Amino acid sequence: MSLQSTQSRDRSRPTSPVAVLGVPFALGADRRGVDMGPSAIRYGGLSAALDTAGVDYTDAGDLSPPTLQSQPASADASAKYLDAIAEMTDTLADRVATEIADGSVPLVLGGDHSIAMGTMRGAAQASELGVIWFDAHGDYNTPTTSPSGNVHGMPLAAAHGYGDFAEMPWATAPNVAEENTVIVGARSLDADERAVLRESDISVFTMADIDKQGIGSVTDEALDIATDGVDDIHVSLDLDWLDPDDAPGVGTPVPGGVTYREAHTAMERVADRDAAESVLRSLDVVEVNPILDQRNTTGERAAELAASAFGKRIL
């Protein structure tokens, strides 16, 4: 295939500028290290990767959320540090909503996955929003069902106002419906999560589905579901979605995940749909823990995958 023929099929670049925002937050995981994720992703070459993708972006720096050092031991073992997480969620939601109102697509760098509550809530302020959740886990626990009390295992349940979260309006994302929510690549679900998800209108593609159908087909179907009848989508990429051999620097690794190349394919399909229909309203990239990493491999993977979601290609 000639370079000319490849270029003739090249996708258009995103028309909206990207606002990069770091959230160095670890209280949802109750473990040090993931708060250094934004720095690791930037150090892993995010700017260069976005430049290569032709993305018009601004690095807006980091929020200053509460830290583990600043917090007393959590008194509520069922949902640790919930007050501080509520504060972070409010701050991030406001910032994300402002960036979107200004015409930008927020790229939010975590931090643990509890930050997605703020990203989704901010992104869903104006109109209906679909969600694609690339993750080894369902993140559909609540304070009542969680085995650990770590809120990074609860953000998707929070977005839908499920269970205990019905009484926590700060955690709920308006305009996010179950039927437009898709989990891709699940391979570690707690018993209560499994039961709830089976009864819900959420679509769940497990690793077995990816093995059978291929990552391209699954991602395309997920995009069809998430965009059905809504304006835009939020994409949440947890690096533990990848196999630990490809992304060792995460707090809750689960063997049997997608390969680095499969993850690129998924992000490229997101970029293809966005180039055609301008559907991507926000993206978060979470759970990079450089303390557990090997030579910042996971930080580099996160940077490259984020750039792929915004249109980076080999040619």
Q: What is the pLDDT of residues 108-119, one digit of tens each?
A: 999 999 999 999
Of the listed 164, 240, 268, 274, which one is catalytic?
A: 240
Angstrom distances, CA of residue 313 to CA of 11, 12, 13, 109, 137: 9, 11, 11, 21, 28
- In whole angstroms, what is the distance from residue 47 CA to residue 276 CA? 24
Report whether pLDDT(13) > 80: no
The pLDDT value recorded for residue 14 is: 44
Residue 62 is inside which H or E element, if any?
strand 57-62
pLDDT of residue 294: 97
Please state the residue numbers annotated as binding site for Mn(2+).
113, 135, 137, 139, 238, 240
**Nearest-angstrom CA–CA distance, 292 and 117:** 24
Active-site residue 51, yes or no?
A: no
Mean pLDDT in residue range 149-171: 97
The DSSP H or E segment spanning 48 is: helix 46-52
Question: Taking the mean position of all CA atoms in its chain, how far away is CA 62?
Answer: 17
Active site residue 164: no
152, 160, 234, 264: the catalytic one is 152
Tally the C-alpha atoms within 13 A of residue 286's C-alpha that lie toward its C-beta. 31
pLDDT at residue 315, as a whole number: 64
Q: Which of 30, 112, 137, 234 is flagged as catalytic?
A: 137
User: Hey, what are 5's tokens?
Assistant: 């023929």
The answer to whether residue 5 scores a pLDDT higher than 70 is no
Q: Is 277 labeled as catalytic in the residue annotation?
A: no
The predicted structure's pLDDT at residue 2: 29
- In the residue annotation, 287 being an active-site residue is answered as yes
- HSE (side-chain half, CA atoms, 13 Å) at 224: 6
The amino acid present at 207, given as its one-letter code, is M
**Mean pLDDT confidence for 210-225:** 98
What is d(CA 106, CA 18) in angstroms, rounded to the nearest whole number?
A: 6
First and final C-alpha spacing in the chain: 12
pLDDT band for 120, please (50, 70, 90 cuts). very high
Share of the chain above pLDDT 90, in %: 89
| All structural domains of the chain | 3-309 (3.40.800.10)
